[in-house]
Amino acid sequence: MVDYFWSTIWPWIIWTPILKTIQSLAFIVPLLILIAYIIYADRKIWAAVQLRRGPNVVGPWGLLQSFADMAKFLFKEPIIPSGSNKVLFLLAPLIAAFVTIAVWAVIPIGSGWPAAEGTSWVVANINVGILYVLAISSLEVYAIIIGGWASNSKYPFLSALRSAGQMISYEVSIGFVIVTVLLLVGSLNMTDIVLAQQTGLANWLGVPSLTILNWFWLPLFPMFIVFFISALAETNRPPFDLPEAESELVAGFMVEYSSSLYMLFMLGEYLAVTFMCAMITILFLGGWLPPADIAIFNWIPGIFWFMAKLWMVFFMFAMVKAFVPRYRYDQLMRLGWKVFLPLSLFMVVAVASVLHFFDLAP
Amino acid sequence: MGIADLFFYLFSALTIGSAVMVISARNPVHAVLFLILAFINAAGLFLLLGAEFLAMLLIIVYVGAVAVLFLFVVMMLDVDFAELRAGYMKYFPVGATIGFIVLAELMALFGAWKLEGGISVTPKAPIPDIATLTNTEAIGRVLYTDYIFYFEAVGIILLTAMVGAIVLTFRQNDKAKRQNIADQVARTPQTSIKIKKVETGKGI
């Protein structure tokens, strides 16, 4: 009995859950603080483009604004419409927040120790990392559909229908772009995707110290742009924020939501946006790898490079929000199905052919 | 009893429970949501078997795409429940017969499988060792070599279904305004704006 305790119960029922809980908390708490500053940065950048000041009252330079907002949302009264389907109405924001946090489990944020063994800082280093990402992020659409339907109101419902169409359309092109990257990597593991960008075009061109050329953004350049635009559409960011187009649908699927339920939706939205920045960083910008093979750069921990790239991509997200006007729904559908889908499908065939006929496949 | 057994019973109980709710829920939207719960728990069962690729694919394809369309249709349809319930007793014998046949077939299959000594005795293709090959690669190796014709046949069947659906629903509408994107992009200030000097008190 004692043996059974030490061989089965202790490692599998007690120790592993405790360890994984600590690991997850150590990941999720900094992640949520990062989200607070992503929201702050989004507002500041948008304000700067429009020659406004943005949040500047709470804390120095308004740095604590997001926390003040959070406290405000938490202490407001949640209003649940009497005509709504209460269970589903409460479920929708929970799905939005839960799914967008869960998907971060497979994101590697820094090189492992020792670095050579193909390890990384990641909560769950699973074989099918990319498929996990696609699977979990395909659940995000349910938060919007259920939220829109359960509100029992016209604007949220119209918004939910728009959103379902939009997210499904752009998942297709995102899938194909990821396939082109996977063709170059030969593995579905997120850590392997980053490590595959250690060698590549720079060595081939004869400038091995310029490791920035090794990353997949250069050999797969059109796909980098396609993925960026699809990521905007997938996360309902402007110029594709049709589900919550405030000039037509008031606030889209969130019209009936208030207080902490609304906050969960916003949290889910910004988590998804930041997640897409992290995906672009991993797939196209070499994850935690330094941009040049210089001693000082190699000493800096990988997490710094990862965050620097993530913030750079997010800056582009924020700038697009600030200066691109919103698309009309038919233009959005045309872009997804008639431009991106054929282009990414062609690139899958082209990349596969090049790898096959020049014998470069990993 | 190990941890895997515990999770097996959890996932299978939830799968069966939500499958029962799919056919007994009064609201069709709830039924579809229970169907999604059943899919997710079935994916959990796949994971316990070590079939991670199939588990993820089940969620991506069925939960992420097929069930969304179900939900879409069910939400848009104006379903009259009283009318649906009216034919319940009439169709019950047919439904029960089909259900019984499927159950009998499953039991026969399970019995034969047990008597043969499990699938590992008579596999149609050699089963690769899970330690040497990830199951994504293992499936790819048989799917695109031994079963390539079946695979392509499935693709053509799906294409036919898609063409059929488009032909059935597509209506040419000459009155609808359409935008030619190339024309829009090719517009210049010279072709779209005419600047005129307007003399005071005259108008154009």
Q: Which residues of A touch B3 (CB under 8 A)?
A: 8, 12-13
Q: Which residues of B touch A142 (CB under 8 A)?
A: 36, 68, 71
Q: If you average pLDDT over residues A155-168, what whole number do you get? A: 84
CB contact under 8 A, A164 and B68: yes
Structure tokens at A102: 């869960």
Distance from CA of A128 to the nearest CA of B (A): 7
Q: Which residues of B touch A138 (CB under 8 A)?
A: 59-60, 63-65
* Alpha-carbon span A79 to A63, nearest angstrom: 29
CB contact under 8 A, A139 and B52: no
Q: Which residues of A touch B2 (CB under 8 A)?
A: 8, 12
* Alpha-carbon span A111 to A27, nearest angstrom: 15
Q: Of A303, A313, A305, A308, give the one whose Cα is nearest residue A279.
A: A313
Cβ within 8 Å of residue A224, ≥6 positions away: A216, A217, A280, A284
* Alpha-carbon span B138 to B108, nearest angstrom: 29
Please report, to the nearest 10 degrees, the dihedral formed by the alpha carbons of residues A102, A108, A110, A114 taken in order. 120
* Alpha-carbon span A209 to A85, nearest angstrom: 59
Other Cβ atoms less than 10 A from the Cβ of A211: the count is: 24
The confidence score (pLDDT) of residue B84 equals 66
What are A305-340's pLDDT values in tens digits?
899 999 999 999 999 988 888 888 888 888 888 899
Q: Which residues pair with A111 in a beta bridge?
A: A120
Half-sphere exposure of residue A252: CA atoms within 13 angstroms, side-chain side: 21
Task: Read off the pLDDT band of B12 (50, 70, 90).
Answer: very high
Residue A103 predicted with pLDDT over 60: yes
Of B3, B56, B72, the CB nearest to A131: B56
What are A179-197's pLDDT values in tens digits?
999 988 888 888 888 888 8
The confidence score (pLDDT) of residue A99 equals 92
Cβ within 8 Å of residue A252, ≥6 positions away: A148, A155, A156, A159, A163, A243, A244, A245, A246
Per-residue DSSP letters for A302-358? HHHHHHHHHHHHHHHHHHHHHH-PPPPHHHHHHIIIIIIHHHHHHHHHHHHHHHHHT
What is the per-residue burial (b if ≥16 Cβ within 10 Å, else e) of B25-35? beebbbbbbbb
Q: What value does the CA radius of gyration of chain A take, rounded to a whole number of Å?
A: 22
Q: If you average pLDDT over residues A236-259, what whole number do you get? A: 79
CB contact under 8 A, B136 and A12: no
Distance from CA of B64 to the nearest CA of A (A): 5
What are B127-162's pLDDT values in tens digits?
677 677 777 888 888 888 888 999 999 999 999 999
Burial of B185 (0-12, 13-18, 19+ CB in 10 A): exposed
Distance from CA of B60 to the nearest CA of A (A): 5
Burial of B48 (0-12, 13-18, 19+ CB in 10 A): middle
ipTM (interface predicted TM): 0.81
CB contact under 8 A, A168 and B65: yes
